[in-house]
Amino acid sequence: MVVRSRPNLFVVLFALQGSILPRVAPKILGISATALAVVAIERAFPELFPVGPGIAPFTLIGLALSIFLSFRNGACYDRWWEGRRAWGSLILEVRGLARLLPAVLGPEQEALSQRSLRRACGFAHALHASLRGTGDEAEVARAWLPAAEAEALAHSPNPANAILAGLGGDFGRAFRAGNLSDIVLGMLEQKVAALAQVQVVCERIQGTPLPFAYTLLLYRTAWLYCLLLPFGLAGTLGWATPVATALVAYTFFGLDALGDELEEPFGTEPNDLPLDAMLRQVESIVRDALGEALPPPVRPEKSVLR
């Protein structure tokens, strides 16, 4: 996620860090070159352009394309924001668990309290690895789990869910042993269910992309529009046509590229969610509750917080 102070006019015009311009620059240059060629041909061979299409058809098509682009970007931002809310809920639930466990278990069950907190942190690490697609969910959670459970985790198809199963199993055994009342068990089970809900939301976002037909239709229409636009502008704007066409291409393709980043909020693009920073926050909550040294917070690198 891009983290910057409020930009001034110079930064707005020339900043590249966090900008979508580097991704769309080749397309803009190609379309500008096409526009320049159209103007040159129109000036050299005016008989080839006896009647220009004018700007009216492009105005109508551009309006429809803008509405459709806004719809897609709105859907992509909803996915980004839902992912952020899910990880905000994860931080909230871990913080609540760190506050609740010592209060309801008491000092005589300190081992269960500490083991449960470490499991919650292991769950966050496993979920983070799963969403980032690193493929080492069991490995990153190993340091936070009992040895026997950590070994079994390597063979689990869903390590994050297996950790939650172990957490719920601990509470169930304590209840059957008479160390927990049914009320306390219900309170703790609500926390486990809330963590499971966070995982379900994140997996739903990750596993359900926007229909490809939306992207394909928008991409094709934007390309056709930008390639044909110089024919409508050349007669009136002349040599300024490439500039106007480049501005339109930057807007359309820039919004399209930004939507691509927001559609997959758990990646590592500059505008994706800062999962590393939020995972570190969860770890800090757990270590603070365990009385351990706190890890340093994740800092932005070149104005990008990962």
Whether residue 234 is contained in a domain is answered as: yes
pLDDT of 194 reads: 95
What is the predicted pLDDT for the residue at 178?
83
Q: Is residue 65 part of a domain?
A: yes
> pLDDT tens across 152-211, in order?
777 888 888 989 998 898 888 888 888 888 888 889 999 999 999 999 999 999 998 888
What pLDDT sits at residue 7? 59
Q: Is 107 exposed, middle or buried (0-12, 13-18, 19+ CB in 10 A)?
A: exposed
Res 283: pLDDT: 93
- The mean predicted confidence, pLDDT, of the chain is 84
Residue 12 has pLDDT above 60, yes or no: no
Residue range 200-231, pLDDT digits in tens: 999 999 998 888 887 888 888 888 888 888 88
Burial profile 210-235: b = 16 or more Cβ within 10 angstroms, e = fewer: eeeebbeebeebbbebbbbbbbbbbb
Residues 6+ apart with CB under 8 A from 113: 101, 102, 105
- Cα 73 from Cα 86, distance rounded (Å): 20
Q: Is the dihedral of CA 111, 116, 117, 123 positive or negative?
A: positive
What does the pLDDT look like over 126-145, one tens digit per residue? 999 999 887 778 788 888 88
Residue 3 included in any domain: no
**pLDDT score, position 48:** 66
What is the number of structural domains in the chain? 1
Do the domain assignments include residue 10? no
On whether residue 239 sits in a domain, the answer given is yes
CA distance 99 to 147: 26
5 domain-assigned: no
Domain extent, residue 157, equals 21-44+53-290
Residue 161 lies in a domain: yes
Question: Which pLDDT value is given to residue 127?
Answer: 93
Beta bridge partners of 304: 2, 301
CA–CA dist 272, 1 (Å, integer): 5
Please give the single-letter amino acid code of residue 157: P
Domain contains 2 = no
